[in-house]
Amino acid sequence: MSTPNPGMDAETFDQFLDQLERYVRERLIPAEKDVIEQDKVPDDILAEMKDMGLFGLTVPEEFGGAGLNITQYAKVVQTMAYAAPAYRSIFSINVGMFNSAIKNGGTPEQQAEWWPRIAAGEIACFGLTEPGSGSDSAAMQTMAKPDPDGNGWILNGTKRYITNAPHADVALIMARTEKDALPKNAHVSAFIVPMDTPGMSTSSPDKKMGQAGSHISDVMLDDVHVPGDALLGGETGQGFRFAMMSLDNGRISVGAASAGYARRALDSAIKYANERQAFGEPIANFQLIQQMLAESWTEIYAAEAMMADVTARVDRGEDTVKHAAAFKVFASEMCGRVVDRVVQIYGGAGYLAEYDAERFFRDARIYRIYEGTTQILQLQIAKRMLREYAQSV
């Protein structure tokens, strides 16, 4: 078990969350049209988000962050996810996976260098997935070889589907430091690589089904020279372990985002059902419409209860691999069911781009894929269950 994290003072956090809720409704939601049309978070809003400290939520206070614990962080993500997904996406890698890796695996020197920088708003990306390997780390092709001219490393390879890569300032890159796959993924190490390092480049942002304003692209590494202190933790063979620990936070973030966006979609459906008339009365009066509303609210409530449980476990220092995976699976699948019902409640209008329901449906689909597909996480949950059973008999 790790050391419990008390987080921000409860009263101060409640005030911050109230302020954030107003900001989401009064500033972010009205700007969604611009985000969609421009396919980017407007520069003035991005600056505001940095000034609010959103890029350093989980960074310790002594390094310029807010020092939130995971329970508080998940509530912030859920609140932000009520608006367009791009708002959450642009800061979530910083405060979720990148910061988690620095916290769990970084040396004191790496923490002292990078925590203040990401808290100030430098944008991070997380380079694990490749064209030929996602969940299968044994197939990873990106290589890191010792620099023959110094104590550093030379990185070569390509990463794929990397969120924030087109505008990131720094990347955490997973690379093989051994040619052959070793037990427990000890052939994979992690490197902190500024994106302006010679040899680093990105492809054009990929065109996606949804989530306008949130950008992903390939990251290409062509003889990228990094110093020895770029190796996370100063030790080879630990990269995959740090990545997996970071992904627990990433999965909690996706689960929280799924719950927040499902709530937004349901609120939209309730409003529409009360306004839309059929047979001389609001369709909200029809029992089968009410059934879809009730099922959606019930499932969102269940996801929120799971979120409260898993984040409390993390903050107590418990091993939450199974719980984080289960929360992400349930919440992301739940969000998919909710937005599908919302389209159904809207009826024909739900298929038209001029109504929000169509966008909700497209945006929500990715939640069941990234940070571990539903199917990969089900395997992970089952393997952990069977391992626990074997240890108990």
The catalytic residues are 371
- Written in H, E and C, the secondary structure of the chain is CCCCCCCCCHHHHHHHHHHHHHHHHHHHCCCHHHHHHHCCCCHHHHHHHHHCCHHHCCCCHHHCCCCCCHHHHHHHHHHHCCCCHHHHHHHHHHHHHHHHHHHHHCCHHHHHHHHHHHHCCCCEEEECCECCECCCHHHCCCEEEECCCCCCEEEEEEEEEEECHHHCCEEEEEEECCCCCCHHHCCEEEEEEECCCCCEEECCCCCCCCCCCCCEEEEEEEEEEECHHHEHHHCCCCHHHHHHHHHHHHHHHHHHHHHHHHHHHHHHHHHHHHHCEECCEEHHHCHHHHHHHHHHHHHHHHHHHHHHHHHHHHHCCCCCHHHHHHHHHHHHHHHHHHHHHHHHHHHHHHHCCCCHHHHHHHHHHHHHCCCCCHHHHHHHHHHHHHHHHHHHC
Residue 337 has a CB neighbour count (10 Å cut-off) of: 15
